[in-house]
Structure 1
Amino acid sequence: MSETFEVIEICAGAGGQALGLEKAGFKHRLAIELDHNACATLRANLPSEVVIEGDVADPDVWRPADHGPDGEFGHRELALLAGGVPCPPFTIAGKQLGATDERDLFAWAVQQVDVIRPRAVMLENVRGLSMPRFAGYRQHVLDQLTEFGYVAEWRLLHAAGFGVPQLRPRFVLVALQQEYADYFTWPEESEDEVTVADAIGDLLGKHGWKGLEEWKKKAAKIAPTIVGGSKKHGGADLGPTRAKRAWAELGVDAMGLANDAPQRDDVFEGKPGPKLTNEMVARIQGWSGEFENWVFTGRKTSNYRQIGNAFPPPMARGIGDAIMRALMKEGSASDRKVSQEHDPVYRVLREANGFVSSKALIKEAGLEISIPELKKRIDMLRRDFHIITEKQGSTLKYKLVAFKAFVGQGDHGRHEFFQKNRSKVS
């Protein structure tokens, strides 16, 4: 490949996405990550000069404008801006604060697209972002990218469809400049699942464990989602109570990690089976085959968090391959229809010049809902947007004022939160 396709990866973690994208043909210009241990792992696998440690939204750490058309590196057009921005604002298990969560960097990342002007964008997050709660947030993102001249689309993808033996849905945003958008097609997910037994049977049996074949019968299915946890919690285990029950059905003791595989005569009285090692967890997260030579640095618990919080490399490779094909304009351009609407109520409010009455809002949004139902949807939008209400007689009118999210404002509450909680932010 004569042309170099460079990627800047934000919130790079321990490199699951980095590895997948490099296998797809991208070369890192920068990989930016807050966590010190994850940065050490990145430096052990990528050229150390491309790894930047610090808050990705801090201009003293790096300046996105330096990589835009008029910046220091503007002569080298960036092929891809990618990243896995923090999940807690959207996770179903959390409070789903979205734009009002000081950890939210999704909106900020989208703003950098207009600053850097990459040919393509790939941002991934948890399944919670795909829920109705965030329909307005998603619509805002699509509208912003459309204004910037990109064709953007969301897709819920599943790790198991990429040969990862794990139930790990990820919600992915891909956006491309118009010139390349018609050449992009989402990767197809395979229906042939790799099981936990397939993935780690050789590792569990490396010392000749007599119970291996019986264990394989239990483990002939995919695992629950690997949970890396946060800095606020203690040692490593394989997830909350429900996940532990699922692991038990697979013959795995999820109450911690082992340092080694079972010995030949080991039995696990009163336990569902052996504990896993970090090497086994990494296999279940997708570090196998062409991806297995990645080196994790640090101690056991840190390694587990790095692995558990990562984007599975095979998923990153699959999406990266699809983006690369589009950037190289392989195949024939298609006229596929890209869904650009997630929340018609938000759309009508955003396009309005002033206040919109309840009845007009329902009509212009093309919805068949009651006014009380509309109010519920407005209240949901208010969690991410400033919306003011005006009452004329018995008629309510609404006006969209502003997005609440952090997009780089110097006076935003994120700055104070970050300074106070830096050691705890995951």
Structure 2
Amino acid sequence: MIGLDLFSGPGGMTIGFKRAGIIPLACVEHRRDAVVTYSGHTPAAEHFCTDIRRLSFTRYAGKIDVVYGGPPCQPFSTGGLRRATADTRNMFPEFARVLREVRPEAFVAENVQGLTTRNSIGYLASLIAEFEAMGYNVSWRVLHAADYGVSQKRRRLFIVGFRRGNFRFPKPTHGPTTGKAYVASGSLISHDPIGEPPECPVVFARFPDPRKSPYAGHVYNGGGRPIDLKAPCHTILAAAGGYKTHWIDTLNVAVAYNRHLLEGGEPWVGEVPGARRMTVEESAIIQTFPREMRFFGSRSSQYTQVGDAVPPDLAEVVARAVVSQLNGHAVSDDTHCPADAAPPLFVAA
């Protein structure tokens, strides 16, 4: 099958889609570093390093089976300003325009879970209505990457449209309902760094806000958190590279300090001993990029590319379901959400 990759970044979706048999004819991405990274693993695709609004896609009409991509998520991210449609970075209108121009058999759009929250759910409903008006049967679901073998607590919205039939989402392969444990981050990374960690100290917060788990709450300055190596990692952030980079607790300070705080102890001061930040390479491994893959650009750009991407292993699971069902193979799956049985159009923030 032939694909068209929009807002491609370094190609996390394409790596997974290629494994499933969807080969991109072209990709569009305005960040040059990400295009260079992408061309390293998919050189045969036509690469457009430009603003998607400058392009016409009518040349691909009748040539594309699946259009896929993740329109910029900042307008709907719970970690941003959440300006939604008022944000000029909202590229869903461009995604819809491409569908009208190309008329593929199916599409897959990925975005943040924030699009399903109270402030944005009306826009999601309008998007679904627009896609349906184009002749697509639309299914959507928030998928947890850890449920599909990715060692990361990453929840993302997937919207899938088929011209014929309704898409059925694949069942989880890992987690408490499957009999197969989540993949522990410690099976992939360890106290010993892979690559060069950023020189950015972890500092005890002046006014900590602990939780029951020592790996949650706001206990340290910045957005980076300690990683429980016995469980999936926190979501890898596109803003990593500095104080928002998660860190490995080589001296096991986090557990003792969290207990100290919960028992009423005074906050500690200074740098956390034994704390080291995750490297670009480790972040990419947690995201399930191939270990041999090279990211281009500054280190900040590399962290952004990794954090913005769809985990290739998760993309592959979705793409294999798309290919199988487009080829007419029935799927027995109780997680299906056709139009008449969709999840409630609200998820608490």
Normalising TM by the smaller chain, what interval?
Answer: 0.7 to 0.9
- Which deviates more from structure 2 when the two are superposed, residues 323-332 or residues 272-281? 272-281
Are 1:19 and 2:21 matched, yes or no? no
Other-structure match for 1:311:
310
Other-structure match for 2:178:
none
Unaligned runs of 5+ in 2: 176-180, 196-226, 255-270
* Aligned CA distance change for structure 1 residues 29 and 84 (closer, same or farther; 3 Å): same
Correspondence 1:221-232 to 2 at 5 A: 221-229=231-239
Correspondence 1:175-186 to 2 at 5 A: 175-178=161-164, 181-182=165-166, 184-186=167-169
- The structure 1 residue matched to 2:241, chosen from 216, 224, 236, is 236
* Matches of 1:252 and 1:308, distance apart in 2: 26
* Aligned CA distance change for structure 1 residues 273 and 13 (closer, same or farther; 3 Å): same
**Matching residue's letter, 2:231:** K
- The structure 1 residue matched to 2:152, chosen from 166, 169, 180, is 166
Give the superposition deviation at 1:126: 0.7
Other-structure match for 1:33:
29
Are 1:329 and 2:339 matched, yes or no? no
Report if the CA contact (8 A) 1:223-1:247 is conserved: no
Q: State the structure with more CA Rg.
A: 1
* Matches of 1:124 and 1:343, distance apart in 2: 18
TM-score, normalised via structure 2 length: 0.75
* Aligned CA distance change for structure 1 residues 203 and 11 (closer, same or farther; 3 Å): farther
Are 1:10 and 2:3 matched, yes or no? no
**Matching residue's letter, 1:91:** S
Give the superposition deviation at 1:276: 2.5
- The structure 2 residue matched to 1:99, chosen from 85, 99, 108, is 85
* Matches of 1:29 and 1:301, distance apart in 2: 29
- The structure 2 residue matched to 1:276, chosen from 275, 278, 281, is 278
Other-structure match for 1:354:
none
Partner SS state of residue 274, structure 1: strand
1:50-79 CA distance string (max 9 Å, x none): 2210111213xxx111112xxxxx3x3x11
* Matches of 2:330 and 2:191, distance apart in 1: 40
* Aligned CA distance change for structure 1 residues 129 and 278 (closer, same or farther; 3 Å): same
- The structure 2 residue matched to 1:198, chosen from 187, 192, 197, is 187
Partner SS state of residue 24, structure 2: strand
* Matches of 1:84 and 1:337, distance apart in 2: 21
**Matching residue's letter, 1:194:** V
Give the superposition deviation at 1:249: 9.5
- The structure 1 residue matched to 2:140, chosen from 139, 154, 160, is 154
Query: Number of residues paired by the alignment?
Result: 291
**Matching residue's letter, 2:310:** F
- The structure 2 residue matched to 1:86, chosen from 67, 72, 78, is 72
Other-structure match for 1:219:
229
Report if the CA contact (8 A) 1:33-1:55 is conserved: yes
Report if the CA contact (8 A) 2:249-2:276 is conserved: no
Give the superposition deviation at 1:272: 4.1
Are 1:119 and 2:105 matched, yes or no? yes
* Matches of 2:328 and 2:28, distance apart in 1: 29
* Matches of 1:250 and 1:31, distance apart in 2: 44
**Matching residue's letter, 1:330:** H
Give the superposition deviation at 1:95: 2.2
* Aligned CA distance change for structure 1 residues 223 and 333 (closer, same or farther; 3 Å): closer
* Matches of 1:48 and 1:332, distance apart in 2: 32
Give the superposition deviation at 1:107: 2.6
Other-structure match for 2:339:
339
* Aligned CA distance change for structure 1 residues 270 and 201 (closer, same or farther; 3 Å): closer
Unaligned runs of 5+ in 1: 69-73, 207-216, 230-234, 254-268, 345-426
* Matches of 2:18 and 2:152, distance apart in 1: 22
Partner SS state of residue 13, structure 1: coil
* Matches of 1:162 and 1:174, distance apart in 2: 18
* Matches of 1:126 and 1:170, distance apart in 2: 5
Partner SS state of residue 159, structure 2: strand
- The structure 1 residue matched to 2:171, chosen from 167, 185, 188, is 188
* Aligned CA distance change for structure 1 residues 40 and 27 (closer, same or farther; 3 Å): same
* Matches of 2:53 and 2:251, distance apart in 1: 41
* Matches of 2:242 and 2:232, distance apart in 1: 18
- Which deviates more from structure 2 when the two are superposed, residues 33-42 or residues 184-193? 184-193
Please report the RMSD computed on the Cα atoms of aligned residues, expressed in angstroms: 3.0
Report if the CA contact (8 A) 2:151-2:182 is conserved: yes
Report if the CA contact (8 A) 1:160-1:168 is conserved: yes
Give the superposition deviation at 1:176: 0.7
Are 1:133 and 2:91 matched, yes or no? no
1:296-333 CA distance string (max 9 Å, x none): 22332222221111111111101101100011111369
**Matching residue's letter, 1:30:** A
* Matches of 2:253 and 2:17, distance apart in 1: 32
* Matches of 2:273 and 2:299, distance apart in 1: 22
Report if the CA contact (8 A) 1:91-1:126 is conserved: yes
* Matches of 2:49 and 2:253, distance apart in 1: 36
